[in-house]
């Protein structure tokens, strides 16, 4: 089932896009949890890592490289950043379209 991120991909609702190519999109999180908080998503709709398959092997690799590319574009690769992906309810996943959070721009607290 499609999510709000599909509407962002299709430009049906606005987002502050920081990077886009044929396969991936990166945009600012609407409720930032750090000074810099960007979400990186594939345009292909995959629910989360648990739903990914062997067929997604290349896409997942490229997704990670795209995260690193976006971090360089944001200028946080040297100072540092955290990458998080939530899977299902105990992790607090709210949007069921796989996404990596990039958190940066300040010293980040210890993770739960």
Measured on CA atoms in the order 35, 40, 46, 50, is the torsion positive or negative? Answer: negative
Query: Using CB under 6 A as the criterion, what x/- string covers residues 41-80 for binding ligand AMP?
Result: ----------------------------------------
User: Which residue number, 66 or 101, has a Cβ lying nearer to ligand AMP?
Assistant: 101
Decide: 95 and 86 in contact? Cβ < 8 Å: no
| Contact between 92 and ligand AMP per CB under 6 A | yes
Catalytic residue annotation: 99
Among all chains, which residue has been given the structure tokens 């609407």?
Answer: 30
User: Which residue number, 17 or 57, has a Cβ lying nearer to ligand AMP?
Assistant: 17
| Contact between 23 and ligand AMP per CB under 6 A | no
Among candidate residues 100, 102, 101, 99, the one with its CA nearest the CA of residue 46:
99
């Amino acid at each position: 089932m499609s999510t709000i991120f599909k509407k962002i991909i299709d430009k049906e609702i606005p987002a502050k896009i920081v990077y886009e190519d044929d396969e991936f999109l990166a945009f600012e999180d609407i409720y930032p949890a750090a000074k810099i908080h960007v979400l990186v998503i594939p345009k292909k709709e995959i629910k989360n890592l648990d739903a990914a398959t062997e067929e997604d092997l290349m896409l997942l690799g490229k997704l990670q490289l795209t995260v690193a590319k976006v971090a360089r574009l944001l200028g946080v690769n040297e100072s540092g950043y955290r990458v998080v992906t939530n899977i299902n309810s105990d992790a607090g996943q709210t949007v069921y379209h796989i996404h990596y959070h990039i958190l940066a721009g300040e010293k980040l607290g210890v993770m739960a």
